[in-house]
Amino acid sequence: MYLYGKNSILERLRVNPRSIKKIFLRENFNAPDIFKLVGSKKIPTKRVSEKKLGRVKHASRLQGIVAEVDDFIYADFEELLHKGSEKKLSLIFLDSISDPHNLGSIMRIAACFGGFAIVIPKYNACEVNDTVMHVASGGENFVPVSMVSNISTALFKAKKADWWIVGAVVRGGKEISSISLPFPMCLVLGSEDKGIRCGIERHLDLKVSLPMKGVSLSLNVAMACAIFCHEMAKQKFTNKRGNK
């Protein structure tokens, strides 16, 4: 796999440098903070022309640096389910999210708020690839991501393990800011065009919506995720503070 862009590679150097096999630099690339970390971790580097750098990784906005890294390691779902409850994580289940930019943005959002893990399906959805990690801008280092064969089965297991299953819907749900959210909690987000599938919907304990009083336009799934995560993080913090 390949990481590209200054922020993504700088964060990987700080958090998980052992996963970096080699770094390719454009001939005139200059970033002292990156050079310092590369030198201290003794990571092999190679200077190449801009044209050759584009052959290493064909993508826009390489920003003069590409890193060859280990394959992304997915978290074991069973372990995530049981240890996640102990660590007070909230799980974000993504149903049929196919755009890598959305998945990358959601990983970055989850990392920024903290206390989240992500569950994605193995089929008919986006996996964690180079584009996802670039958009995540280092978020992949802080957010466990589990890939499961069947989202419905995974939600059934979560419910048996005493997790609450909450689904985000455009209309017909309770406004998330007006209710007390149940924890430990799994938030289910569906695709922008179809929403949460019927087979998944039957597992929901609660449906929530965003209080949108403007024009009848729907939010991008990553934008909606940010608002949901904000409210979930706020309520978890309030609950912790109230229990002290």
Which domains does the chain carry? 2-69 (3.30.1330.30), 77-243 (3.40.1280.10)
pLDDT at 215: 65
Q: Count other C-beta atoms under 10 Å from residue 113's C-beta.
A: 18
Using CA atoms, how far residue 106 sits from 36, 189, 212, 236, in Å, is 30, 11, 20, 19
Indicate the residue type of 9: I
pLDDT per residue as tens digits for the range 190-211: 987 788 998 999 999 999 999 8
Q: Collect all residues with Cβ–Cβ distance below 8 Å to 25 and sequence separation of at least 6.
A: 45, 46, 47, 48, 53, 64, 65
Per the confidence metrics, is the pTM higher than 0.75? yes
Output the pLDDT for position 170: 84
Please give the Cα distance from 90 to 236 (Å, whole number): 10
DSSP 8-state code for residue 184:
S
pLDDT at 218: 73
Q: Which two tokens stand for residue 47?
A: 């200077």
SS3 for 191?
strand
* Per-10-residue mean pLDDT, the chain, length 244: 97 97 97 96 97 96 96 97 90 95 98 97 96 97 97 97 95 92 96 86 95 74 96 86 42
What pLDDT score does 116 carry? Answer: 97
Dist. CA 88–CA 239, nearest whole Å: 12
